[in-house]
């Protein structure tokens, strides 16, 4: 990787913007990547590297801000390696030159690492549920102002992400002739995202059906990080003597992408052989009609046919566009709750 290329990528990644502080995506995975570099240099015997986000802490936001801290575990043999994996350093706390040096180390691993060095776990970004007023109970004027400003910031970041995706021709099953279009302002309704919305709704139905039937294989395929852990807890808490059947009755209102973040996460010296360099997270609103029937293992009815219930959910979808893999659900965001989140540019 050329130094000029790294500098350009890093400069674009950490440049401050008018709407908030920018943090490089590379910082999310610095500890993961640096530990591999250190272990490799010390000839420590690396073991299996976790391929998906495993540990996490989930909080949600009163203005629709969702956050799920995630990390990947590196399993190594030997005391030295275990000591190395215990150290962690915040990427944003080191200098520009140190950041560049760290990224150069990671880039040098591309040809020899047995895994994708740019695919380390990341946080759920500052995906927001748009609202002009705060959903907090007894909200103050300051709460309403903060919510209003956050919604405007979200609209701007949606626009920036739409432009990045259009420039990289990154909309699923859609070819964008020009990135300069009024469609950039229409995240919730643009035809550019129509195939993705259909795919997201299909994935949502598959996950709900799999959750009801206990199909762990499908859940592992489409759920990662905080959402995967949530589904696992639901399955473990379920009464094994009961059988569940979930049914989709249609949409109460069209599926929408309400918040979108696209960042250049693959900083390799060469363009990816598949797709592009972007990592994309999208907050999707599902407003559906559904029902759940419950039976005993012997077929006795516990809860039979009922009128469809309207259910509104906000789920975070993610995809590394240089990997030939499906979109996955990594988190759930709730209206009216507040939590910490990570801001990106």
pLDDT, tens digit, 9 for 90 and up, residues 92-111: 566 778 877 877 777 778 77
Candidates 317, 338, 342, 320; CA nearest to 328 is: 317
What pLDDT does residue 276 have?
93
Looking at every residue in the chain, the average pLDDT score rounds to: 77
Using the predicted structure, report yes or no on whether residue 256 has a pLDDT greater than 70: yes
pLDDT, tens digit, 9 for 90 and up, residues 72-93: 332 233 333 333 334 445 555 6
Q: If you average pLDDT over residues 272-280, what whole number do you get?
A: 93
Using the predicted structure, report yes or no on whether residue 66 has a pLDDT greater than 70: no
The percentage of residues in the chain with a pLDDT greater than 70, rounded to a whole number, is 70
Using the predicted structure, report yes or no on whether residue 30 has a pLDDT greater than 60: no
Candidates 202, 193, 203; CA nearest to 172 is: 193
67: left (phi over 0), alpha (psi -120 to 50) or beta: beta
Set out the domains of the chain in order of their start, with CATH numbers. 3-333 (3.10.450.240)
pLDDT, tens digit, 9 for 90 and up, residues 140-185: 998 899 899 999 999 999 999 999 999 999 999 999 989 999 999 9
Using the predicted structure, report yes or no on whether residue 246 has a pLDDT greater than 90: yes
């Amino acid at each position: 990787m050329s130094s000029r290329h790294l500098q350009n990528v890093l400069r674009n990644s950490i440049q401050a913007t008018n709407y908030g502080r920018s943090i490089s995506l590379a910082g999310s995975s610095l500890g993961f990547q640096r530990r591999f570099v250190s272990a490799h240099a010390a000839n420590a015997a690396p073991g299996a590297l976790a391929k998906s986000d495993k540990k996490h802490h989930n909080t949600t936001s009163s203005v629709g801000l969702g956050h799920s801290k995630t990390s990947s575990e590196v399993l190594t043999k030997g005391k030295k390696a275990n000591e190395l994996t215990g150290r962690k350093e915040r990427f944003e706390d080191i200098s520009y030159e140190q950041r560049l040096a760290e990224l150069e180390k990671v880039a040098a691993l591309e040809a020899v690492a047995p895994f994708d060095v740019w695919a380390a776990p990341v946080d759920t970004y500052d995906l927001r549920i748009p609202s002009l007023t705060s959903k907090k109970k007894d909200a103050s004027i300051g709460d309403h102002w903060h919510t209003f400003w956050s919604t405007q910031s979200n609209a701007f970041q949606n626009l920036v992400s739409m432009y990045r995706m259009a420039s990289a021709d990154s909309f699923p099953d859609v070819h964008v002739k020009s990135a300069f279009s009024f469609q950039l302002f229409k995240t919730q309704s643009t035809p550019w995202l129509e195939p993705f919305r259909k795919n997201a709704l299909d994935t949502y139905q598959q996950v709900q059906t799999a959750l009801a039937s206990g199909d762990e294989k499908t859940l592992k395929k489409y759920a990662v990080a905080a959402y995967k852990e949530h589904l696992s807890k639901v399955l473990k808490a379920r009464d094994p003597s009961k059988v569940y059947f979930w049914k989709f009755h249609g949409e109460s209102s069209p599926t929408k992408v309400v918040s979108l973040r696209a960042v250049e996460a693959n900083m390799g010296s060469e363009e990816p052989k598949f797709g592009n360099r972007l990592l994309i997270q999208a907050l999707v609103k599902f407003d559906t009609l559904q029902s759940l029937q419950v039976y005993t293992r012997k077929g006795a009815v516990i809860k039979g046919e009922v009128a469809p219930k309207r259910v509104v959910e906000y789920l975070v979808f993610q995809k590394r566009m240089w990997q030939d893999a499906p979109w996955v659900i990594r988190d759930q965001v709730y209206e009216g709750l507040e939590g910490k989140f990570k801001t990106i540019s």
